[in-house]
Amino acid sequence: MSHQESGAASRTVRDVVFVDGLRTPFGRAGDKGIYAGTRADDLIVKCIRALLRRNPSLPPQRIDEVAIAATTQIGDQGLTLGRTAALLAGLPRTVPGFAIDRMCAGAMTAVTAAAGGISFGAYDVVLAGGVEHMGHHPMGSGADPNPRFMSERLVDPAALNMGNTAENLHDRFPSITKERTDAYAVASQAKFDAARRGGRIQPDLVPVAALKPGQGWTLNTVDEPPRPGTTMSGLAGLRTPFRAHGRVTAGNAAGLNDGATAALLASSDAAAELGLSVRMRLVAYAYAGVAPEVMGIGPVPATEKALKQAGLSIGDIGLFEINEAFAVQVLSFLEHFGIADDDPRVNRYGGAIAVGHPLASSGVRLMTQLARQFEEDHTVRYGITTMCVGLGMGATVIWENPHHADYSGVRPQDSAAAETTSEGAA
């Protein structure tokens, strides 16, 4: 007996769209940071509530899943964060949730895992995001790596320190000098400052009130890490903490940060039904493993896999949002694909070197910035969000711009018009 005869539903792959995304302002980790006295789960709750306020046509009970990532899942980042955050945000108790860990690509994995469920038909609407409070939970805190990693030499010892992996990448690409990485870092700071002053960053930030002992309450509305006015001479003298006379410094790498992000995803038909905006359409995604001691090269094979899935070439990509864990990691990606260090398609609003990289939250920041760039540049059809991942991985998602003339998805207004026409015909 066939599955149709037994009553099982037949399924078709559905389009997945990015409806909206936002984040908290990012803070510097540590006792002096803006979120020193704020819980990690409260940061993600702020994002969930803000998404619901920004999308009032979405009934909360229509949310089918809440997927939230954190790298260090203990303390205020533990206890099945997707479910606890949903309850704390006041979502109906019928809305389930789960937690995800893929280190730096946590939020990106939350999005793609949820997207798979939407495409399969298990979900219609999903919240996905990530949070990292590196002040409360420094990377690797509480971890107990299996001794076999060292005793059996399964990985190079340098693989457990991200800064060392960046120095190793410099060794692999001798053409990527410290001067090039410093120049890239200066440009990142300048681009982010220009985007902020141009009103392109603030619309997607949710203000967060934070209490600090002895200082009372402060409403945080801007990112703490950026250093506008950074110069080459200012970066030249910074120490190289990971290697004597090395090339990686605090100036050409992302800092240690606190922050949260969240995105609203839906099937294209659910978006049309509920009157939700369509800011991007998911085209393809891929993850790839690389040698852990050079984890920064991970975006290269991940992007090649995603492009192959989509039937596209690197020349088809009009915008790149690459996470700037380290400048050398971005430049190794650009060098592999023959893209200039200052190509205007790359990180138009600056990146993590300026704004910070709260590990598991960063993937959705890339998506939110890409969506805003799509809205202001209708000549670009495809863009990618990509990042390297600790322990030797890469992650890439390809998106399509619904504002492009050749957009292949169904826009909500097109769907609504078709339904009106069919009703009139009936």
Known catalytic residues are 104, 357, 388
C-alpha 109/C-alpha 102 separation (Å) is 7
Nearest to 211 by CA among 25, 44, 50, 39: 39
Nearest to 225 by CA among 351, 342, 365: 351
Report yes or no: 402 and 281 within 8 Å, Cβ to Cβ: yes
Q: Is 346 left (phi over 0), alpha (psi -120 to 50) or beta?
A: beta
Q: Is 347 left (phi over 0), alpha (psi -120 to 50) or beta?
A: left
Reduced 3-state DSSP string for 157-188 = HHHHCHHHHHHHHHHHCCCCCHHHHHHHHHHH
Reduced 3-state DSSP string for 201-226 = CHHHECCEEEEECCCEEEEECCCCCC
C-alpha 126/C-alpha 62 separation (Å) is 9
Does an H or E element contain 310, and which?
helix 299-310
Report yes or no: 16 and 265 within 8 Å, Cβ to Cβ: yes
Question: Rounded to 5 degrees, what angle do the CA atoms 198, 43, 200 make?
Answer: 10
C-alpha 355/C-alpha 217 separation (Å) is 23
Nearest to 299 by CA among 320, 268, 273: 320
